[in-house]
Structure 1
Amino acid sequence: MEWQQLEYFQVLAKIQHMTKAAEKLSISQPALSRSIARLEMELGVPLFERQGRSIKLNRYGEIFVKRVHNIMREYQDGLHEIQELINPNHGEVYLGFLHTLGTNVVPDLIMHFRKQFPNIHFVLKQNHTHSQLKQLKSGELDLCLLAEMNVEKPIEWMELWREELYAIVPISHPLADRKTITIFELANEPFVLLKKGYALRIQIDEALNQAGLTPTITFEGDEVATVAGFVAAGLGVSILPDGEEINPNRMAKIKISDLKLERVIGMAWSLERYLSPGAKQFRQFILQYFKNKK
């Protein structure tokens, strides 16, 4: 069964006259007759009662035409949706990002972007770096904002910004008044960190390991806000980027003088996946946004 046969059948069912339907379709009457005959042969039943050149749907035709109308409507709806998606000023962007970027970075980006492109919508997914990369490869995401990782083609990663990591201690901690400390001054402190698998946790584990330290980890969390909350409650110290989660009334951030600790955040996308015009617009906007901030 061909799509063209369904189109011909739908027009003929509406006009109910072979010659007039052929004229409407800009084909010859014999060509239309052959197409309908092939369709009836494939279905195994006649669809029309023929009275000369005038024809009328029979009971099989009445049943089938309803289905054809639904098929055509679904096709048109799908075509419309796709056209909306590939319109550079419309469509959806599937964006993944780290939990730590959900407080202000991603909301600010989308707010500024939608001032220029108000009809582009977002589907947002927060996850750690490894999970985002899997979703990117599978096509579940268009773009990701994640920490620097070793990625291989077809994944493309581009640095956007860097942020220093600080020792974070409760405001009542003996070290809270210090401007700088060494990493070794935290050697005997209980630590509150993100769970294993998060890029930030991997980075901190590597830094502590290189310094020859094996910290005592009292709590592990899924989000920076959770880790910061435990630190503020006096349940340990941590190493985190500065952000709104670090309440200066409850915690102190201290520069670590003997280690250059910074988190590198970038954007990733797949070179093998189709990127809609809307997603390309947002990718270019992100690159320009952080270029202007440097």
Structure 2
Amino acid sequence: MDDVTNSLPEQMAYWDRGIFRAGLKISHLQLILAIEDHGQISAAAEALNISQPAASRMLGEVEAILRAPLCARVARGVELTQYGRALARRARTIFLELRETAREINELKTGSGGSVSLGSVTGPALNLAVPAVSQVSTAYPGIEINIQIENSNVLVRELLAARHDFVIGRIPDDIDPRQFNLIEIGEENVCLIVREGHPLLDQAVVTFSDLPGYDWVFQPPGTLLRRAVEDSFLSAGTPLPATIINTSSIILTVSIVQHTNAIAPVARDVADLIAGDASRAGAIRVLPTDFNIRIRPYSLITARGRALPPSAKLLYDLILKQSTA
């Protein structure tokens, strides 16, 4: 038993050398991650800008190197086997380390204050991220801050892909929450916006029964805000709107609402910004309703096992402090 135990490091070193000597490449790891993200070899190939035959050939190469099946066919495409999932998990760590290495070297070369990549849903981006970014930029003028505003479905997947240091949002139902650390920091109130002069503004209070006859601008299907609105319709026993325009862009949402009788659900912080007395965003107004649309609280989310670099930790801590002020 002791002989076997003592030989484990040598065995592991042998397999490590064997994998790379056998030809495992960065492009192979990129392919596995693309397959995991897209669930289809054709879509993975398109994402990597290669042909489907080339992707299939690369997949065969990796399976030959590892001597294990990495994908299994399912009704709508392919999914990773337990071996494929293990490889994908390690690949994400490898790419994260490479990204952090490039970041650290660049900061050493330029003497800059570092860089941060943050993703956030719209409401807390306005009331938490913006004030924190202002503080960081003032105190550390050399810092570079990148912010993506999107729905949680997109942001959390970007976090898993190591394209963000942390995000402000919610864990989608179809993603394993054990992959994350999160601190709940606030709630996002939802309201309905329309254009100035909309027929429903003639009413003192708008009820669910008043809504189905109008076009709606929604976030894409499956997003948490979209589902919260749909659940509210169903709970009220009201038919869902017949005409729906799907977009994740708040700018496009506001533009459509400005020029039509469409109704759009948005975070209250967004509505306050575009429908305030000082706003010139096309005279957007908030509908007075007799109901509330509830969406679960948002959190500061980091990937489990992934330490924040100093620049990102600084912004993270300021946002956390801002949320408790």
TM class, shorter-chain normalised?
Answer: 0.5 to 0.7
Q: Which residue number in structure 1 is paired with residue 98 of structure 2?
A: none
Q: Which residue number in structure 2 is paired with residue 185 of structure 1?
A: 210
Change (3 A) 1:78 1:99: closer
**Percent of matched pairs sharing the same residue:** 16
Supply the AA of the counterpart residue of 1:261: R
Indicate conservation of the 8 Å contact 1:84/1:91, yes or no.
Answer: no
Supply the AA of the counterpart residue of 1:238: A
Q: Which residue number in structure 2 is paired with residue 134 of structure 1?
A: 157
Indicate conservation of the 8 Å contact 2:194/2:261, yes or no.
Answer: no
Report the RMSD for the aligned CA atoms in angstroms: 3.2
CA distance in 1, matches of 2:285, 2:292: 18
Q: Do structure 1's residue 281 and structure 2's residue 306 form an aligned pair?
A: no
Q: Do structure 1's residue 81 and structure 2's residue 114 form an aligned pair?
A: no
Q: Which residue number in structure 1 is paired with residue 146 of structure 2?
A: 123
**TM-score relative to the length of structure 2:** 0.56
**TM-score relative to the length of structure 1:** 0.61
CA displacement at 1:285 relative to structure 2: 0.9
Q: Which residue number in structure 2 is paired with residue 31 of structure 1?
A: none
- Give the counterpart of 2:242 among 213, 216, 223: 216
CA displacement at 1:103 relative to structure 2: 6.4
Secondary structure of the residue that 1:239 maps to in structure 2? strand
Compare 242-251 and 206-215 and name the one that shifted more.
242-251
CA distance in 2, matches of 1:259, 1:210: 12
Per-residue CA deviation, residues 7-65 of structure 1 (Å, 9 max, x unaligned), is xxxxxxxxxxxxxxxxxxxxxxxxxxxxxxxxxxxxxxxxxxxxxxxxxxxxxxxxxxx
CA distance in 1, matches of 2:289, 2:214: 15
Larger Rg: 1
Equivalent residue pairs, number: 214
Q: Do structure 1's residue 201 and structure 2's residue 230 form an aligned pair?
A: no
CA displacement at 1:167 relative to structure 2: 2.2
Q: Which residue number in structure 2 is paired with residue 245 of structure 1?
A: 274
CA distance in 2, matches of 1:104, 1:288: 12
| Larger fraction in helix | 2
CA distance in 2, matches of 1:184, 1:117: 52
Supply the AA of the counterpart residue of 2:298: I
- Unmatched runs of 5 consecutive residues or more in structure 2: 1-100
Q: Which residue number in structure 1 is paired with residue 51 of structure 2?
A: none
CA distance in 2, matches of 1:120, 1:195: 33
Higher RCO, 1 vs 2 (CA within 8 Å, ≥6 residues apart): 1
- Unmatched runs of 5 consecutive residues or more in structure 1: 1-76
Indicate conservation of the 8 Å contact 1:91/1:119, yes or no.
Answer: yes
